[in-house]
Structure 1
């Protein structure tokens, strides 16, 4: 009997020690990984900050101290934040400085949606180019990006007003070259196209190929950002629950959701053509203190004309070969082994997919059933928008109306 009791006691003690050892081992791995992550992130940030500064100093755009001062370069202070976005100051204004040191991943589409840095070299326009000739260059570039639109001249005029960085009524060569380099970027182009809307942060200024946008305090759209080393230890169910803990009240979520739906509306057959949303993840969106929706990363919101021109050149053996970003998928024409130009899902379906868990959680009982019905009808949309324009507009309007009715009488509106 005593032998049996000893064995049981030994087994119990061994199990306890085993579990204790596993717990502390896991904790040590977790803490160690976190330290390595933080140290590595800081190191890469410092390197990239150095590269960004060198990029400005070495460009031919800014070649005198006077011009550098004029464009505000001396006032930029880069502070560590994330891999391509830095907090900073433009004079007395606070914002985020975006450093396009590398191109957005282009998924081997035969031609790049977002040109490499060297393609945006500061060698255009050439010395001696008149303002009128520069305007023609801008109109030609915009036409290639968004096709021929009736009011491209108005957009070109706005680009020229932005190019005059110090508002002295004269566009210098450094200002023109900076503007031309930035105009190659999807995000900068979208900020100009949506200049009168509130969905993109305001452009505060630019210097070389750095540009500063209004700071948006809350991102991602919902949930909490964690390092990948932490993510692997968290079960999917717990991760979803954690995401819901870090969300505003439901009326505020409704207002933010209306903002995303309005963005979809604005870039669908908008003033300057249609744009495709090729990464509709929560990380690309955010909101300000008034719960106004904002686009945080617009590199994958691209002109539909540009997308279609590039995707047609892509060779394919299956539909999976015709993917750009995470959300712009077309089909593969197996007779020609070329990708077709029409995306399989419209922007609205992707937006509703992102909003589903966000807006249904905590929805008032008197709207939750109808809201769920409308969202799933929205997610089910397939094919090009042109083929189902009426259904697309109906679902979009129904969703906006349903949400707006619920919050229009409250202070949250």
Structure 2
């Protein structure tokens, strides 16, 4: 009897072991297959490089990085970070420089509220066909000014920004602007991230542009991202409970004084793009993954695709048909209301940049805050999160809360080495 029980028990355990071994192999194979399939679908850097270099060799485009990318091969694409097939993102190495390479692979020209709020590139072979052959530098300047006006509105100092763009266009600094150089600049000007880098080039919030070829460009590397937490492969994210994920996010943060310095940088970005030198910009994705910081704990924008000119946003959102307010959402954070009499979205966002930023900063900056500061800091953050709209009467309150938060944090760290 005992022998029969042992044999049956062994048989059961053996079958259980075989089942779980098979399951482990199946799941492992599925993960590898999914990751490989996802990688091959998303990561098309080889195609992107070939397309860019083909146009460079044919004399269609030119830029500071073209020769290194296509001839000397001293600039190359590394690890793939692509999340969308039409916007390729890779780590990049260029001699001693490390950065992030971004390459556009968009095709059909149309407006998509769920994607970039800008026209996608025209399909080959007519890509990079502007400006046309025979266009003078003065005519190109007019094209630039007209485009910038459509993007950021009729600002008094657009001419200065146009001059900066022309200076940038002369990539080899020979005092002349070639047609391939002009076509590369025109393609880059269509991108929100490039436009923001131009507007904020005298500030340190956006990574520096290291080089470009056509609309492929390399930005300065931001070593620490997301703003807090840890970046994990999506397949692992699926298995981590939300509560554990929130706890993990707090494990991977700098010391509180460093967090305060980073937070001040984010607040300064809000200040710079709210009625700034070239109009207002809207932050339409305020998740922690879009921000980071460097070794000195200086705040940096990692992904600026969803920081868009308010004028551009309002023009596009008015054209959006809607039945409920949720139809009027761009990115993850720019929501307007639906006018049910016209079934069109209204142009004014329901929450300003500052309120969304304070929402993101709340858990980050309150955790570990000095006891003599935490109550007042929490009070200011909740007042900030309660801000609504961008109406004229809100501007004084907006500025007051922003200055109060910056002052509160700065007083606490200004006397330390962390400042």
TM over 0.5: yes
Comparing 104-113 and 251-260, the one that deviates more? 104-113
Q: Deviations over 1:299-334 (max 9, x none)?
A: 110000011011111111111111111100000111
- Contact preservation (8 Å) 1:323, 1:329: yes
Partner residue in 2 for 1:98: 102
Q: Which residue of 2 aligns with 1:116?
A: 120
How far off its partner does 1:81 sit?
2.5
Q: 1:15: how far off?
A: 12
Residue of structure 2 equivalent to 1:137: 143
Who is 1:81 aligned against? 80
SS in 1 for 2:388: coil
CA contact (8 A) 1:111 1:310 kept: no
Distance in 1 between residues matched to 2:418 and 2:115, nearest whole Å: 45
Give the SS at the match of 1:158: helix
Tell me, yes or no, if structure 1 residue 308 matches structure 2 residue 320: no
Corresponding position of 1:63:
58
Q: 1:269 to 1:262 in 2, by over 3 A?
A: same
Q: Is it true that 1:40 corresponds to 2:44 in the alignment?
A: no
Q: CA deviation at 1:103?
A: 8.0
Q: Is the 8 A contact 1:331 1:339 kept in 2?
A: yes
Aligned ranges for residues 3-402 of structure 1 at < 5 Å?
31-44=28-41, 47-59=43-55, 62-64=57-59, 71-72=66-67, 73-74=69-70, 75-83=74-82, 84-102=88-106, 108-109=112-113, 113-118=117-122, 121-402=127-408
Mean alpha-carbon deviation: is it higher for 351-360 or for 176-185?
Answer: 351-360
Distance in 1, matches of 2:228 and 2:116, equals 31
Cα 1:263/1:30, change in 2 over 3 Å: farther
After superposition, give the CA deviation of every residue in 1:167-197 in whole Å (9 maximum; x if it has no partner). 1111111110000001001110000000100
- Label 1:30 to 1:400 Cα distance change in 2 as closer, same or farther (>3 A): farther
**Residues 93, 233 of structure 1: alpha-carbon distance in 2 compared, 3 angstrom cutoff:** closer
1:357-380 deviations in Å (ceiling 9; x for gaps): 111111111111111111111111
Quick check: 324-333 or 224-233, which moved more? Answer: 224-233
Aligned residues: 407
What is the CA distance between 1:350 and its match in structure 2?
0.6
Q: 1:52 to 1:111 in 2, by over 3 A?
A: closer
Q: After TM superposition, give the deviation of residue 242 of structure 1 in Å.
A: 0.7
More deviation in 77-86 or 142-151?
77-86
**Partner SS state of residue 129, structure 1:** coil
Q: CA deviation at 1:221?
A: 0.9
Instruction: Indicate if the aligned counterparts of 2:256 and 2:368 stay in contact, CA closer than 8 A.
Output: yes
Conserved? CA contact 2:351–2:388, under 8 Å: yes
CA distance in 2, matches of 1:15, 1:82: 45
Name the CA distance, whole Å, in 2 between partners of 1:80 and 1:384. Answer: 40
Q: What's the counterpart of residue 85 of structure 2?
A: none
- 1:241 aligns to what SS in structure 2? helix
- Aligned-partner Cα distance in 2 for 1:26–1:186: 46
Aligned mates of 1:26, 1:395 — CA distance in 2: 55
In structure 2, the residue corresponding to 1:368 is in which secondary structure? Answer: helix
Find the aligned partners of 2:412 and 2:45 in 1 and give their Cα distance.
Answer: 46
The alignment yields a C-alpha RMSD, in angstroms, of 3.2
Q: Distance in 1 between matches of 2:128 and 2:360?
A: 38
Q: TM-score w.r.t. structure 1 length? A: 0.89
With normalisation by structure 2, the TM-score equals 0.88
Kindly state the Cα deviation for residue 70 of structure 1 after the two structures are TM-superposed.
Answer: 7.4
